Amino acid sequence: MRSGVEQCDDGALGNSDTAPNACRSNCLDAHCGDDVVDGGEDCDDGNTVGGDACPAACVQPTCGDGVVSDGEQCDDGDASGGDGCGATCLIEAAYGCQGLPSVCRTCASQSGDEDGDGVVDWCDNCPAVANASQANTSETGAGGAADAVGDACDPNPTAGGDSIFYFDGFTSSLATNGWVSSTSLPNVNGGIIEQNSLGDLDLIWRPGASLENVTVDVRGYFGQINQATPPNEMGAIVRGSTSANDGVACLTVRTSATTATQGLFDVAGGVAADLSVQGLSPVPANGSEYAYVLTARGTAMTCTVTPLSGAPVVRSATSARPAGSVGVYMYNARHRIRSITVIAHGGS
């Protein structure tokens, strides 16, 4: 007999934690994540987390399901070719694909070449990193299938299933491309975001990018720092809430005229608190330029900050924040943002 919050109740002899499709001993219906392969499931490893032995929905990926998985370079929601994404979910010659499900366009119909390597951004497997050869052999060298992200910018080059979710080199207004802001959208001028309000926090988000396993690559520089009133901050943010201005951020932070930090921060209500940071020298100044690469996989977060001339610094931490939006974090300076690349990892 069912009672209270029970979903089912087949009695002490009928309830089972091992039989497929049975009412479980806690009186919940059989479900993905109960460690039993039930009807409609291909696998069940006892959780609903992706990126492990069994996908989050307990259904193994197939070409045509709209999600780019290991062994695929694209997936436009069908398994037919001739539209840029082939029948086996590989990108067809003279096409480029972005998004989930994949949107494929001919390279000849596109323009813009952010990194100046001769490959248009839409078809470039590393649109912010010059790689004219488009080399993409690390996965095959490790015995796998090449994905859609080139060796020059792949955060996990020996694992497949990665794809360019989107790239923006800011050749048109932010509003045109669907960006939203915690305050007001900055202007775009000459392919660069110009955030010109000293003292303001401005988080800009690209709605729809609610990914759990993702890498965000933001490239920009401090146009003018508010020298008198630090902190002055810039970087990338993931796992974000556009309404609460929350998330996990990879930042450089000028804390005074002589001190600065870089690394991972937890952002709550727009305020950044240290997760894993270290000192930054030299201290950011007007014109200081950085690349911020922030990777989130499950609870693992990795932040790589690379100055224009200098060695990268890598910091790691964990965060239980759920999947959310991705974007750019700017505070208390006139920021200049050149580009953002978002890479979706297989099963995102």
Q: pLDDT in tens for each of the 348 residues of the chain?
A: 556 678 898 777 779 899 999 998 889 999 999 999 998 888 989 898 766 678 778 887 799 999 999 999 999 999 899 999 999 999 999 999 999 999 999 999 999 999 999 999 999 999 999 999 999 998 888 888 899 999 999 998 888 999 999 999 999 999 998 999 988 899 999 999 999 888 778 899 987 668 889 999 999 999 999 988 999 999 999 999 888 889 999 999 999 999 999 999 999 988 899 999 999 999 999 999 999 999 999 999 999 999 998 999 999 999 999 999 999 999 999 999 999 999 999 855
Assess whether 119 and 49 both reside in one domain.
Answer: no
Q: Do 182 and 327 lie in a common domain?
A: yes
Count CB neighbours of 282 within 10 A. Answer: 10
126 and 208 inside one domain: no
Rounded to two decimals, what is the model's pTM? 0.87
Give me the CATH number covering residue 188.
2.60.120.560
**For residue 150, what are its two tokens?**
């080139």
Quick one: pLDDT at residue 4?
A: 63
**Residues pairing with 221 in the sheet:** 289, 336
The answer to whether residues 46 and 121 belong to one domain is no
Question: Is the same domain home to 111 and 88?
Answer: yes
DSSP 199-212: T-EEEEE-TT--BS
Kindly state whether residues 179 and 215 are assigned to the same domain.
yes
Q: How far is CA 172 from CA 191, 235, 252, in A?
A: 8, 21, 27
**In this predicted structure, what is the pLDDT of residue 164?**
97
**CA–CA gap between residue 11 and residue 22 (Å, rounded):** 11
Q: Does residue 4 sit in the same domain as residue 76?
A: no
Asked if 239 and 297 sit in the same domain, the reply is yes
Domain boundary (96, 131, 166) is at 166
Q: Within 10 Å of residue 80's Cβ, how many Cβ atoms?
A: 10
Number of domains the chain contains: 3
Task: Enter the tokens of residue 217.
Answer: 């690559």
pLDDT at 113: 97
Q: Are residues 6 and 52 in the same domain?
A: yes
Q: Which of 25, 44, 60 is at the close of a domain?
A: 60
CB atoms within 10 A of CB 15: 17
Are 208 and 259 within one domain? yes
Question: In this structure, how many other beta carbons lie within 10 angstroms of the beta carbon of residue 57?
Answer: 17
Q: Which of 60, 88, 109 is a domain's end point?
A: 60
pLDDT number for residue 209: 66
Distance, CA of 110 to CA of 290 (rounded, Å): 28
CA 38 to chain centre: 32
Q: Residue 141's domain spans which residues? A: 61-166
Instruction: Count Cβ atoms below 10 Å from residue 184 Cβ, excluding itself.
Output: 11
Residues 247 and 285 in one domain: yes
* Residue 12 backbone phi and psi in degrees, to 5: -60, -30
CA Rg, the chain, in Å? Answer: 22
Q: How far apart are CA 264 and CA 198, in angstroms?
A: 23
**CA-wise closest residue to 74 among 322, 346, 326:** 346
Q: Are 52 and 191 members of one domain?
A: no
* Rounded CA separation 188/338 (Å): 10
